[in-house]
Amino acid sequence: MQHDSVLLEAAFRALDSFKIELPSWGFANTGTRFGKFLQPAAASTLEEKFSDAGQVHKLTGVTPTLALHVQWDLPNGIADAESVRRLESLHGVSAGSINPNLFQDQEYKFGSLCNPSSGVRERAVAHLLHSVAIAHQLGSKDISLWLPDGSNYPGTQSIRKRIAWLEEALVRTHGALAPEQRLLIEYKPFEPAFYHTDIADWGMASLLAAKAGPQARVLVDTGHHYAAQNIEQIVAWLLHTGILGGFHFNDRRYADDDLTLGSIDPYQIFRIFHEIHLSGPSLLGSMAFMIDQSHNLKGKMEATVQTVASAQELWLKAALVDREKLALLQDRCELVAAEELFRGAFWQDVRPIVREWRAARGLPEDPLAALGASGYVQRIGAERGAKLAPATSYA
């Protein structure tokens, strides 16, 4: 297919500017609160996770970093840094954001940073400070904080005391950041807390980031919203106030997350990307894009490549919106024409352009087909699955 040279140049610039981080846990066996379905090709070691991430990057060219989880991936903390550097060199991807764990230990049953026990709160802060030190050792820019703290029943916790404890903890953590580091504060309306969650929405996260210090930002997880919420409006406000730090991308049908990006509502991701493009290219260097998905039914490698390809296509669709013409139509209140221009950008088939870009960059034109043809999934399935046999059957 032939494309206008100006259009193609703009499209290639947009695709060159897009990078998205992979989650280490996306390659591992995960489950729901009801159970876990094991996959023979799932990664069980950090080396296997780096190997999988490296394979995705070879196929797509846009996933140069791997988000690491402190407790799951770096149980020895800073002592694991040398192993990580070796894996970076071996597999061609670097350590990305560092993700603390404040939700797994038994001591955190009633909260971590917001626990009524000063001893538990101190332990949680120490974990955050250790995570900052690990990030500094690995050259990681972002410490990505998701806090599950909250309560299940009215009157059982002091909401105001917990706000103060949380502010204090984040100020202390921010004080340990190196000049190039950031603290990204994520929010979630519910789960595991069902009555009140200590960081329940973007407003709370924004105020906490402002309180913590100038290197704190808000992290938007596209799954962490109520079903009817206008996420792109939240993104616009965070961009307007200069406090948006990045995204965890996934999709959801009702609430929470973990479905592959764009599988339910690709138009929503397009609308979010449009708001980011409106801010101009200077913003992209500071914006963290990361996938946050755990695949229990789809093959993990296949779902990850599928997600990256979908993200590229939606990013390009949003990049090709004629924003100058759109602004003119908006100012004239020509509603139908403005909407049709906007929708037209979403409905255009950009896959031929993405294939041309991949070919020009020496990448497989169809990374999902290339993954299948490589035999990689079959090989790791046989190698890793053998370690689980005979206890587990995949027949």
Rounded Cα–Cα distance for residues 376 and 324 (Å): 45
- Check whether 256 has a pLDDT greater than 90: no
- Check whether 393 has a pLDDT greater than 70: no
- Check whether 390 has a pLDDT greater than 60: no
182: CB partners within 8 A, 6+ apart: 141, 142, 143, 215, 216, 217, 245
218 - beta bridge partners?
185, 244
Confidence bin at 33 (pLDDT 50/70/90): confident
* pLDDT, greater one: 217 or 6: 217
Instruction: Provide the mean pLDDT of the chain.
Output: 94
pLDDT of residue 1: 44
Confidence bin at 303 (pLDDT 50/70/90): very high
- Averaged pLDDT, 199-216: 98
355: CB partners within 8 A, 6+ apart: 365, 366
- Check whether 123 has a pLDDT greater than 80: yes
Dihedral sign, CA of 10, 13, 15, 20? negative
- Averaged pLDDT, 280-286: 83
* pLDDT, greater one: 228 or 316: 316
Rounded Cα–Cα distance for residues 250 and 23 (Å): 12
pLDDT of residue 352: 97
pLDDT in tens, 332-366: 999 999 999 999 999 999 999 999 999 999 999 99
- Check whether 394 has a pLDDT greater than 70: no
- Check whether 280 has a pLDDT greater than 90: no
- Averaged pLDDT, 20-45: 91
- Helices and strands in the chain, H and E counts: 15, 12
* pLDDT, greater one: 57 or 393: 57
pLDDT in tens, 55-78: 999 999 999 999 999 999 999 999
67 - beta bridge partners?
23
Alpha helices by DSSP H, listed for 213-286, are: 231-240, 266-278
* Least trusted range by pLDDT, from 25-39, 62-76, 88-102, 329-343: 25-39
- Check whether 391 has a pLDDT greater than 50: no
* All domains in the chain, ordered by first residue: 16-388 (3.20.20.150)
pLDDT of residue 389: 58
Residue 280: both structure tokens together: 């101009």
DSSP E strand stretches across the chain:
22-23, 31-32, 35-36, 65-69, 94-99, 142-145, 150-151, 182-186, 196-197, 216-221, 244-249, 288-291
Q: Between helices 376-388 and 300-319, what is the axis angle to 10°?
A: 140
Rounded Cα–Cα distance for residues 367 and 244 (Å): 31
pLDDT of residue 357: 98
Confidence bin at 395 (pLDDT 50/70/90): very low
* pLDDT, greater one: 79 or 173: 173
